[in-house]
Amino acid sequence: MARSHNFNPGPAALPLAVLEEVQQELVDYAGNGLSVLEMSHRSPAFMAIYEKTEATLRSVLGIPENYDVLFLSGGATLEFAAVAMNLMRTGRAGYVASGHFSSVAMREGAKYGEAICLASSEESDYAHIPAVADVEAAIAREAEQGLDYVHICQNNTIYGTMWHELPDTGDVPLVADVSSCFLSLPLDVERYGVIYAGAQKNAGPAGVTVVICRHDLIAEGPALSICPSYLDWRRQTMQQSMLNTPNTFGIYVCGKVFQWVKDMGGLEAMEARNRKKAAMLYDVIDHSELFRGVASVQDRSIANVTFTTNIPELDREFVSEAADAGLIGLGGHRLVGGMRASIYNAVPKASVERLCGLMKEFEELHAGTSATE
């Protein structure tokens, strides 16, 4: 069996051990005589899977009792709307535009109320995260007129930047799209009002969205009466994410990934591994005459490493040579070009070593063709 070195941004690499367990249980789950794919979501066997999945996530992430956990569908994209419809009580919320998804979230929020742009890094093509002090000053200014929440995207998957320090939002709940850094490192859940993530980056297969919300924020039901029942977090909480048929198989696989994270030593261990992998790549980039990093050094992501030669044909050649060598998913997002190595939890250090080696070989071969300023 030849498994690729998988640098896909999402859907992305899953731990081999999880895939093998799923394979083993696929036809007959735990002696039930049927597959998880064929089970009723209301059956005791599936409810046990659901409850274990939630309990494992709670223990891995340290989610306090007063936070609800949901496993929904529709991706982070549908939650952009859900955030606004559940939380926009005064009709005014703050957004930080630090990349593509945070800007999409802001535009989605603007459909349901006033979406104030607190800070943006668009003028640098989102190469950096807006300064925390500027964000905090904007929050202080805008909060006087009322802010229902402050929304950030904690790791900008496309640009390769991440928040290394969270803004202090005072009494205003912080809402974070953590899709591409969920389970990459510990999060202090109590710093947030709501955390949400599409599972396909780091937590499981596509089709599951994890939403973690502080209970008091949703206790009265959604802020907007037009909120579709499906997106009503309170109702979903009361029904254990089963207002309708959930993504049963996806939830089951997420549960296995959560358990894998736990068995591997939890989020501290994940963070240490991810930092080591990222440091290896940034070290090659920083010592290269050919490759340069795309993101500002102080805001570099530990999950998505963006780099380029500044010569589009050469970038394409690198991506294609890498693919020939079994390293896949390295093409940058179409908005940025260049290369992006997504090095989520399930990407082994050996794959990153292989990539570093390939970059050095490629540089030797193309010495002298540098366009680096």
Ligand X SMILES: *Cc1c(COP(=O)(O)O)cnc(C)c1O
Q: For binding to ligand X (CB under 6 A), which residues are involved? A: 10, 75-77, 101, 153, 157, 177, 179-180, 198, 201
In the complex, what is the shortest distance from the CB of residue 248 to ligand X, in angstroms, rounded to a whole number? 18
How would you label 125-150 residue by residue, b for 16+ Cβ within 10 Å and e otherwise? ebbbbbebeebbebbeebbeeebbbb
Helices (H), the chain: 16-25, 44-61, 75-87, 100-109, 132-143, 215-218, 233-238, 248-263, 266-286, 312-324, 349-365
In the complex, what is the shortest distance from the CB of residue 179 to ligand X, in angstroms, rounded to a whole number? 4
Query: In the complex with ligand X, which residue's Cβ is closer, 74 or 337?
Result: 74
Of 287, 341, 297, 251, the closest CA to residue 9 belongs to 341
Under a CB-based contact definition with an 8 Å cutoff, are residues 276 and 331 in contact?
no
Q: What is the torsional sign of CA 169, 175, 177, 182?
A: positive
Which residue bears the tokens 């009709």? Answer: 91
Q: Does 44 sit behind a cis peptide bond, omega within 30 degrees of 0 on the bond before it? A: no
Amino acid (1-letter code) at residue 197: A
In the complex, what is the shortest distance from the CB of residue 74 to ligand X, in angstroms, rounded to a whole number? 7
Query: In the complex with ligand X, which residue's Cβ is closer, 107 or 141?
Result: 107
d(CA 171, CA 212) in angstroms, rounded, equals: 18
Query: In the complex with ligand X, which residue's Cβ is closer, 9 or 309?
Result: 9
Query: In the complex with ligand X, which residue's Cβ is closer, 151 or 214?
Result: 151
Under a CB-based contact definition with an 8 Å cutoff, are residues 252 and 53 in contact?
yes
In the complex, what is the shortest distance from the CB of residue 183 to ligand X, in angstroms, rounded to a whole number? 13
313 CB burial (10 A radius; 0-12, 13-18, 19+)? exposed
Under a CB-based contact definition with an 8 Å cutoff, are residues 50 and 42 in contact?
no
Q: Quote the tokens at residue 330.
A: 């390295």
Q: Quote the tokens at residue 195.
A: 């955390």
Query: In the complex with ligand X, which residue's Cβ is closer, 177 or 232?
Result: 177
In the complex, what is the shortest distance from the CB of residue 258 to ligand X, in angstroms, rounded to a whole number? 18
Query: In the complex with ligand X, which residue's Cβ is closer, 119 or 284?
Result: 119
Under a CB-based contact definition with an 8 Å cutoff, are residues 159 and 295 in contact?
yes
Query: In the complex with ligand X, which residue's Cβ is closer, 101 or 112?
Result: 101
Residues in Cβ contact with 272 at an 8 Å cutoff, skipping those fewer than 6 apart: none
Query: In the complex with ligand X, which residue's Cβ is closer, 198 or 331?
Result: 198
Query: In the complex with ligand X, which residue's Cβ is closer, 163 or 318?
Result: 163
